[in-house]
Structure 1
Amino acid sequence: MFLINDLIALLAANLILSQALGTSTLFIAAGSRKNLVATAGVITLFTTIGSAASFFIDLAVPSSVSDLRLLFYTLVIAFLYVALLIIVYKFGSRWFEDMRKYIHVSAFNCAVMGTLFTINKRADADSALSGFGGYVSAGFEAGIGFVIAAIILTAAYRKLNSRKVPAAFRGFPAMLVYLGIISMAVYSLK
């Protein structure tokens, strides 16, 4: 039951945009199945590995200087960003041009950064998340929450960009209204 509640909360957080404005990445992911799979995979990788690293940062940095944690979280994501680019370039050079854009839009996305910035507070509130496994599972769940949000957006992407929608409202404005309505519905489930 905890997993279902957590996934709904993460989905609502992504849809409500409370962790930051990650809608542009959602729109990229919703553009096609290839975009969805690649972006979701990279974001899930970033949130999972970043959450594992944040466990060690939280152990090493005292709570009296919690502002330093944010700096270290950002440095971890920057390191993962560069490392993933190097790995893809070295071992998958034929995929580098395709994967590079997904790595760029995923690295400092709201789902990744928001997960790392809020995971410590979640671990303080729930003792089940206070261990290494709890941090890693919370990071993985955040990535899955992004995937679910992207799938929901994909379902309406073509219809909200069709000629039936007025030109001034088509695209980004229609998507934001759609996200607001869906987020209120999902948030009410919690």
Structure 2
Amino acid sequence: MFLINDLIALLAANLILSQALGTSTIFIAAGSRKNLIGTAGVITVFTTIGAAAAYLIDLLLQPSVADLRLLFYTIVIGALYVALLAAVYRFANRWFEELRRYIHVSAFNCAVMGTLFTINSRASMDGTMFNLGGYVSAGLEAGIGFIIAALILTAAYRKLNSSKVPASFRGFPAMLVYLGIISMAVYSLK
């Protein structure tokens, strides 16, 4: 149930919010299988480890300073970003140049930050989820949701960008219509 909601949220966040900023991670992921595997893998790492850190933040954060949650989440994702870059440089130096672009694109993606806030919101509604295992599994679900969303886009990416689609509708506009239809279909499964 929550996986469907996360899928819809990830689609909306990646296509609407990040496209407005000029970068759409899910389009990068859908462009090729290699990009899909790299981007989805790194985003899954960020959402899973970030969710564990979000649990600690939510556990330690006093209600009087709950408005600072965004700042703390951003600091954690930034530290994770630096740590992941350092780990890849140290232990996989020959793949560093290739892997770092996935880390750069994925780190401050709205899917990662949105996942942390979604998990926090779900935990505040369902007290049984307010534990480390609940947060980590929700972070992993969000990463899997991103993979599913990217796979759905990959299936249609080439056809929606082909010369058979009118030039004014090709690319992003066609993808938004396609995602709207897919989102309605997935939402109807609830």
Q: In which range does the TM-score fall when normalised by the shorter chain?
A: over 0.9
- Residues 25 and 105, structure 1, Cα contact 8 Å, conserved in 2: yes
Q: How many residue pairs are counted as aligned between the two chains?
A: 186
Cα offset for 1:21?
2.2
2:30 corresponds to 1:30: yes
Q: Which residue of 2 aligns with 1:143?
A: 143
Cα offset for 1:189?
1.5
Q: Which residue of 2 aligns with 1:74?
A: 74
Instruction: Quote the Cα distance in structure 2 between the aligned partners of 1:60 and 1:102.
Output: 31
Give the counterpart of 2:8 among 2, 9, 12: 12
Cα 1:62–1:128 shift into 2, 3 Å: same
Cα offset for 1:22?
4.2
Mind listing any 5+ residue stretches in structure 1 that lack a counterpart? none
- Residues 11 and 145, structure 1, Cα contact 8 Å, conserved in 2: yes
1:34-73 alignment runs, 5 A limit: 34-73=34-73
Instruction: Quote the Cα distance in structure 2 between the aligned partners of 1:165 and 1:18.
Output: 23
Cα 1:16–1:189 shift into 2, 3 Å: farther
- Residues 14 and 26, structure 2, Cα contact 8 Å, conserved in 1: no
Instruction: Quote the Cα distance in structure 1 between the aligned partners of 2:174 and 2:91.
Output: 40
1:101-156 Cα offsets, whole Å, 9 max, x none, are: 10011001111000112221110112231111000001110111101000000000
Give the TM-score taking structure 1 as reference length: 0.93
Instruction: Quote the Cα distance in structure 2 between the aligned partners of 1:117 and 1:140.
Output: 14
Mind listing any 5+ residue stretches in structure 2 that lack a counterpart? none
Greater CA deviation, 119-128 or 54-63?
119-128
Instruction: Quote the Cα distance in structure 2 between the aligned partners of 1:93 and 1:103.
Output: 14
RMSD (Å) for aligned C-alpha atoms: 1.5
Give the TM-score taking structure 2 as reference length: 0.93
